Amino acid sequence: MKNLINFLIQYSVVFLFLFLEVISFTLVVKNQDYQKSVFLSSSNSAVSVMYEWSNSVVEFFKLRAANENLSEENTSLKNQIINLQNKLSTLKKETPDSVHFRVPPEMEYQFIAAKVINCSTNKLLNYITLNKGAIDGIKIDMGVISDEGVVGIVKTVSNRFSVVIPILNPKLEISCKFKRNNYSGPLKWTDGDYRFANLNDIARHVELALGDTLVTSGFTNNFPVGIPVGYIEDFKIKESDAYYKIKVKLAVNFRTLSHVKVINYLNYQEQKDIEKKSEEQ
Amino acid sequence: MPTVLQNIIRFILLVLLQVLVLNNIQFLGYINPYLYILIILALPVQMPRWVTLLLAFALGLIIDTFSNTLGMHAFATVLVAFLRNGIIKLFTSIEEGNNPTPSFYTFGVSAYVKYVVVLVLIHHTTLFILEAFSFTNFWITLAKITLSSFVTILMILGIQSLSKK
């Protein structure tokens, strides 16, 4: 017994070391699948408040570019309004009163504007923290876009903050299609370069051209159809391959990302419920 | 208690520097220096080992919380804290009863450089391998380890050569 106690005391540091390493390793492994712990991630409010503070300094230097983007978007929106008004006025004259218009249910979206307060692009698993949370109506699984295109999907939400898995994280696959011919496939990021991602699921009979636009397919409940994801930068196919290896230049520049919109799909629950129901039957 | 105070201030300053500035550095897409490891490297030599280990664990968790990498920094930092004493014994001959803070002056230039190089390499290698865990991008990981270690080592040696005894 005395020997045992002596042994324990002598090697207590080693045991402490092993104990701490086991804890750390467990945290790493548990965290691989799905980050449940809001407390020890950057949606924790103490950490977020600090990031918000540091971001307010950094953002000052990005104001110019952000302004340009905003004014560009403003003009294009104004143009759309005018176009739509014109269409509406012509339609009103031609159609009788009894006909009323309905927005297709899959197009009923609302946008929640949010600001990026922390964004990594140089890790193998990147995350983005936003300054809006459950209070502002953000829920898990909502899509996130910027003026340029698709950013990612909301992963954890606390009261005032939320964390997004961007395209720059191999845990996320986004279903996209080509604008030109509607062939679709999942886009995945593995490169370690924040500008490019890969699309490896397009069969060899499809005709491709450099610069083709890739947009969201609308087959998932996160994004409406037709939001830009990227452009073909390069594609390869070997004699023996059945599928192209396509290098996609992402539409969003993650290094300068500052303002984003979270997509609130109003019929999300209804669509999910009915899909689940038919799977069960 | 100037040494304790000095270490506390160093802890806070380096953590802030790491999470607010260095975590945002992405030179060439590969270089991401982790200067915070200097907090562990600069602890006094005779510091009780269990204190060093717990400090390292807390430090790692703080950095993890800020970069959404739960457990990775904690693992690498605790490993460095554990191996530190062995490395010091290997490269230097510090007499019993002395309790110097590691630096160029107390270790000698070549011993201190070796000490920093070995521990930073261990730390960065563990960290980037853990980060690359689920996929096999060997060359990218290797490039990240080499380049980031190089920058971290340069920064640590630079800071140390500026500080007075």
What is the C-alpha to C-alpha distance for residues B23 and A68, in angstroms, rounded to an integer?
A: 28
> Which residues on B lie below 8 Å from A125 (Cβ)?
68-69, 131
pTM: predicted TM-score of the whole model, two decimal places: 0.61
pLDDT the model gives residue A35 = 46
Q: What are the sequence ranges of the domains in chain A?
A: 2-31, 45-168+261-265, 173-251
pLDDT tens digits for range A29-65: 776 554 445 555 666 667 777 777 777 777 777 777 7
Residue in A28, A121, A122 closest to B71 by CB: A28
- Which of residues A205 and A93 earns the better pLDDT score? A205
Percent of chain A with pLDDT over 90: 10
Is there a contact between A42 and B137 if contact means CB atoms under 8 Å apart?
A: no
Residue B93 has pLDDT above 60, yes or no: yes
Q: If contacts are CB pairs under 8 Å, which of residues 19-78 in chain B contact chain A?
A: 19-20, 23, 26, 29-30, 32, 49-50, 53-54, 56-57, 60-61, 64-72, 74-75, 78
Report the DSSP pairing between strands A150-157 and A259-265. unpaired
A-B C-beta contacts closer than 8 Å? 102
pLDDT for residue A15: 87
HEC letters along chain A: CHHHHHHHHHCHHHHHHHHHHHHHHHHHHHHHHCCCCCCCCCCCHHHHHHHHHHHHHHHHHHHHHHHHHHHHHHHHHHHHHHHHHHHHHHHHHHCCCCCCCCCCHHHCEEEEEEEEEEECCCCCCCCEEECCCHHHCCCCCCEEECCCCEEEEEEEECCCCEEEEECCCCCCEEEEEECCCCCEEEEECCCCCCCEEEECCCECCCCCCCCCEEEECCCCCCCCCCCEEEEEEEEECCCCCCECEEEEEECCCHHHCCEEEEEEECCHHHHHHHHHHHHHC
Residues contacting A136, CB < 8 A, separation 6+: A112, A114
CB contact under 8 A, A13 and B50: yes
Q: What is the crossing angle of helices A45-94 and B49-67, to 10°?
A: 10
B70/A30 Cα distance (integer angstroms): 9
Does domain A173-251 bear CATH number 2.40.10.350?
yes
For chain A, say whether B93 makes contact (Cβ under 8 Å): no
Taking an 8 Å cut-off on Cβ atoms, the answer to whether B72 and A28 are in contact is yes
Q: Would you state the structure tokens that stand for residue A112, as one six-digit string?
A: 């929640």
Q: Which residue has the higher pLDDT, A8 or A228?
A: A228
Contact across the interface for A122 and B32, Cβ inside 8 Å: yes
Contacts of A50 (CB under 8 A, 6+ apart): B19, B20
Q: What fold does the segment set A45-168+261-265 form as a domain?
A: Thrombin, subunit H (2.40.10)
CB < 8 Å to B66, chain A? 42, 47, 51
**Domain ranges, ordered by start, for chain B:** 2-162
With CB atoms and an 8 Å threshold, state whether B29 touches A37.
no
Name the one residue in this structure whose structure tokens are 């804290």: B81
pLDDT of A22 above 50: yes
With an 8 Å Cβ cutoff, are B30 and A122 in contact? yes
Q: What is the pLDDT of residues A179-217, one digit of tens each?
A: 888 888 888 887 778 888 888 888 888 888 888 899 998
Residues above pLDDT 90, as percent of chain B? 30
**B18-45 pLDDT, tens per residue?**
888 887 776 666 788 899 999 999 888 8
Cα A249 from Cα A198, distance rounded (Å): 9
* Residues of chain B positioned with their CB less than 8 A from the CB of A19: none
Contact present, B72 and A28 (Cβ < 8 Å): yes
A17 with B78: Cβ contact below 8 A: yes
**Residue at A147: amino acid letter:** D
* Residue B117 pLDDT grade (very low, low, confident, very high; cuts 50, 70, 90): very high
Average confidence score pLDDT of chain A: 82
| Distance (Å, whole) CA A262 – CA B72 | 30
Q: For residue B6, which amino acid is it?
A: Q
Q: What is the pLDDT of residue B122?
A: 94
Q: Which fold has domain B2-162?
A: Arp2/3 complex 21 kDa subunit ARPC3 (1.10.1760)
Interchain contact A194–B (C-beta under 8 A): yes
